Amino acid sequence: MPYRQLIESCLADTIGEGGLGAASLARLLEAAGPVLTRLAESGADGSLAFLAAPRRSDDLAACGDVSRSMRDNCGDVLVLGTGGSSLGGQSLTALVDRGSGPPDGTPRLTFLDNVDPHSFDVLLEGLDFAETGVLAVSKSGGTAETLAQLLVILPRLEAAVGRDGVARRLAVITEPGDGILGALAETYGCARLPHDPELGGRFSVFSAVGVLPAMIAGLDPEAFRAGACDVLDASLGAATAGDAAPALGAAVAVGLAQERWILQNVLMTYVDRLATFGLWHRQLWAESLGKDGLGLTPIDARGATDQHSQLQLYLAGPLDKLFTIVSLETAGLGPKIEPERAEGLGLGYLAGRSLGDLLDAMARATADTLARNGRPVRRFRLSELGEYQLGALMMHFMLETVIAADLLGVNPFDQPAVEEGKRLARDYLQAAGGTAS
C-alpha cells in the first residue's frame, strides 16, 4: 500500500479516557461490515460512479486531445468552476513544481473558484487573451458563479481570437443534456466532455474533472488512477473491516463522535503540496456528512506552520477534536544545515540536519505530544508523493467518508440544504439596485 495508517493513539488503551474503547471499536467495525460488502458489490457491477471512475481509460483520448490543444496554443489556461469542480484539479496540479513559472511546455494554470470583482479586475489586466485557453466545469451546467465568470471572459476571448477561434480555446465539462454550459459549448462548437450525472462534484476527481487539468499541467492520469484502484482492491477485498484502512478510519471517527462527543476532525498535513488536498478533503467530509443535524466538522491545518497558530488550542483546549497527522518520509531530504554554522550558534540539534529531518521531527513530536496529552491522533504516513500516492490518498478518504456516512446513518451523496441560499441570491440579483445590509 502506498500509505500507512496507524490508529493506536486513538484508543483508550493507549491515550486514556479521551480515546475510543476496544469494545466500541469492535462494534463499529462489525457495523461497517455490511457497507463494505455493498461497496465491494457496487465496485464489481459498476453501479457506483465514484468507484468506477478510476477504472476507466476510455475517456483519456478525449482529455488528451483537449490537453494537447491547450498546451500547444496557450500560455495561460483558466479553469472556471467552484467546489468539487475545482478542488480536485487544484489538489492534483499542486504536485507540479512551479518555481518561477510552470514547467516548460505547459501553460500557467489558474483556478478561478470565486467571483471577487477586484481579483477579476487584476486578473483581466494581466492576461493576454490571444494566448489564453478556458476550461469551464459545472456538473449541472447552471452554476451561477461559473457562468458569470465565463460570461465576463468570453467577450474578451472573442475579441482576441475571433468567434471561430473560441472553438479551439474553450472546453467545457458538464452533464449530457440541455444545461446552459452545454448550450454555450454548442454555440461555439467547442470541445464538450461529459460529466457523469451520477458523480457528485466532491467525488469527481478521478473523472475528467480532475484528470484534464492534471494532464494540461503535464501529470500522469494513469498513475493517479492506479493509486485509487490499488486502494479499492485492498480495501474492498479485505477479509474483515478491521483490515480495510478506510473502514478503520471511519470507525474511529464515528466512534469518537458517538461516544466521546468529538465532533471536530483536524486533518493536519506536513507537506506543502497537500495544502489544497486539505481543502478538497474538507468539502468531501463536510458536504457528505453534514445533514439531518448530524455531521463532523472538518478542519484543515498545515504542519509545521500551524504548530505556531493552532497547537496551543489543540493541546490545551476542549477535548473535542480527532487529529489526523499526514506526513511524508522527508528525513534526509532538502537543503542541509552546515554543522559548524549551527554549532557556532549553540544549535547542536540542527547541525548537519536537513530541512526534511526537521519537518519529520516536528510531525512526529506533534503527534506524540497530542497523544501524551490524551488527544486522539491518527498517523498517516506516505513514503513518497506523486500522482500514484495522491490517488491512493484521495480514494482512501472517499471510502472512509462513505463508510462514516453509513455508520452515522446519513446519505453521503446529496447536499439538499444549499438550494435555499442559491434561490435567495438569484432573487437579490433580480431585485435591481438592491444593496446588501
Which residues, 307 to 326, sit near a copy of itself by CB under 8 A?
307-321
Q: Which is nearer to a copy of itself, 22 or 365 (CB)?
A: 365
Please report whether residue 175 would count as binding a copy of itself according to CB under 8 A. no
Q: Where are the beta strands (DSSP E) in 105-147?
A: 108-112, 132-137
Whether residue 336 lies in the annotated active site: no
* Contact between 186 and a copy of itself per CB under 8 A: no
Q: Which of residues 209-248 bind a copy of itself (CB under 8 A)?
A: none
User: Which DSSP state fits 271?
Assistant: -
Q: Which of residues 254-273 bind a copy of itself (CB under 8 A)?
A: 263-264, 270-273
Total binding residues for a copy of itself by CB under 8 A? 132
Under rule CB under 8 A, residue 409 binds a copy of itself: no
Instruction: Compute the least distance from the CB of residue 55 to a copy of itself, in Å.
Output: 27
CB of 133 vs a copy of itself, minimal distance in Å: 17
Q: Which of residues 119-138 bind a copy of itself (CB under 8 A)?
A: 119-126
Q: How far apart are CA 387 and CA 224, in angstroms?
A: 4
Catalytic, out of 125, 308, 419, 420: 308
Nearest approach, Cβ of residue 49 and a copy of itself (Å): 19
Whole-Å CA distances, 139 to 18, 71, 147, 340, 387: 42, 24, 12, 58, 24
Q: Which residues sit opposite 136 in a β-bridge?
A: 80, 172
Residue 396 neighbours by CB under 8 Å, 6+ apart: 3, 5, 231, 235, 245, 246, 249
Note whether 360 and 327 are within 8 A (CB): yes
Nearer to a copy of itself, 211 or 299 (CB): 299
- For Cα atoms 375, 290, 236, give the angle at the middle one, nearest 5 degrees: 75
Closest by Cα among 379, 330, 389 to 1: 389
Q: Residue 36, exposed/middle/buried by CB under 10 A (0-12, 13-18, 19+)? A: buried
Candidate residues 1, 22, 159, 417; the one interacting with a copy of itself per rule CB under 8 A: 417
Which 34-93 residues touch a copy of itself, going by CB under 8 A?
A: 82-85, 87
Contact (Cβ atoms closer than 8 angstroms) between residue 382 and residue 329: yes
**Sheet strands (E) in 220-270:** 264-269
139 included as an active-site residue: no
Using an 8 Å Cβ cutoff, are 208 and 228 in contact? Answer: no
Torsion of CA 155, 161, 164, 167, to 10 degrees: -80
Indicate which single residue of 1, 22, 44, 425 sits in contact with a copy of itself (rule: CB under 8 A).
425
Cell of residue 157, nine digits: 476571448
Q: Does 117 bind a copy of itself (CB under 8 A)?
A: yes
User: What cell was used for 289?
Assistant: 456528512
Q: Which residues, numbered 324-383, are part of the site for a copy of itself (CB under 8 A)? A: 327, 329-331, 333-338, 341-342, 345-350, 353-366, 368-369, 372-373, 379, 381
Q: CA dist 300 to 146, 243, 282, Å?
A: 25, 27, 7
Q: Least distance in Å: CB of 357 to a copy of itself? A: 6
Sign of CA dihedral 232, 236, 242, 247: positive
Report the nearest approach of a copy of itself to the CB of residue 160 (Å).
Answer: 15
Residue closer to a copy of itself, measured from CB, 23 or 437: 437
Site for a copy of itself in 139-158 (CB under 8 A): 143-145, 147-149, 151-152, 154-155
Which of 60, 167, 180, 229 touches a copy of itself (CB under 8 A)? 180
The least distance separating a copy of itself from the CB of residue 268, rounded to whole angstroms, comes to: 12
287 is catalytic: yes
List residues with catalytic annotation.
287, 308, 422
